[in-house]
Structure 1
């Protein structure tokens, strides 16, 4: 475990200040998402966008490829969120990661789509999952389990 953390810190030290800044921003955004989720979800949902069915034409439009610069930014944000998540002082789950990436993309004026899905699990309950797409990039939450059915999206 210590060796793994040391290796990751060494990797982060070698990626340059821009990526380091993205990891710091991703960490702060995941903390903000965690704090927002202490509120009732309907209140949180109002800030995530409009809740629409997966077949809504805006879903494909907002997730579609845009400029190469926006796609590169979306990839970099996805990388930063994924890099920061294991080091958070709490378990950063898919919804917090998707919310953090969405916040980061919004600050840069890049549209995104947050997807929600569900599938049955072993305990006769429903397992939920959230993932985010932007600028033709699979930003967070991938790969999606094959049994996961898409329920709705925030655009």
Structure 2
């Protein structure tokens, strides 16, 4: 028994390491990742970026979080990342950031979403720049981590409810 069945069995086994709150976030994470992917494919950036909140100072540190908010951010991050690995569509950093941002807002967890750019390949036609999106809540990188030092923050977003 190899191939897809083995992968499925391994995924089921690895789910044992997740808490019930994290397991309950799988379905909402799946739906939000799917909606994020559709938005990225069919809508201009200016429309779906509103999900991330308002533009704030580049590189603004994330507001501090309580212990309960940190636990919620950890659970949301684990669930979104694990669900993204299972989707049949591409669920890289931006859809993960969009899905996690919605879930963090629903839980009232203060956070910031950072967009960064890094130099690409040596030949500009191959890949002139690499882009990345990640979420930070307090000191925790919720999605998109670990963030490599070559990424320079070019935009930071915060939920509209944050100061």
TM-score tier, shorter chain, comes to 0.7 to 0.9
1:29-108 aligned at under 5 Å gives the runs 29-37=32-40, 38-55=42-59, 59-60=60-61, 63-108=62-107
Listed as ranges, the gaps of 5+ residues in structure 1 are none
The normalised TM-score by structure 1 is: 0.87
SS of the counterpart of 1:152? strand
The normalised TM-score by structure 2 is: 0.83
Q: CA deviation at 1:116?
A: 0.4
Runs of 4+ in 1 over 6 A off after TM superposition: none
Does the 8 Å contact 2:56/2:156 carry over to 1?
yes
The alignment's C-alpha RMSD in Å is 1.7
Q: CA deviation at 1:131?
A: 0.3
Q: CA deviation at 1:35?
A: 2.0
| Partner residue of 2:25 out of 22, 27, 30 | 22
Listed as ranges, the gaps of 5+ residues in structure 2 are 159-163
Does the 8 Å contact 1:53/1:151 carry over to 2?
no
CA distance in 2, matches of 1:108, 1:90: 26
CA distance in 2, matches of 1:21, 1:31: 17
Partner in structure 1 of residue 13 of structure 2: 10
Q: How many residues align?
A: 150
Q: CA deviation at 1:13?
A: 4.9
Q: CA deviation at 1:146?
A: 2.3
Alpha carbons of structure 1 residues 16 and 139: separation in structure 2 relative to 1, 3 Å: closer
Q: Mean Cα displacement is larger for which, 14-23 or 98-107?
A: 14-23
Partner in structure 1 of residue 161 of structure 2: none
Greater share of residues in helix: 1
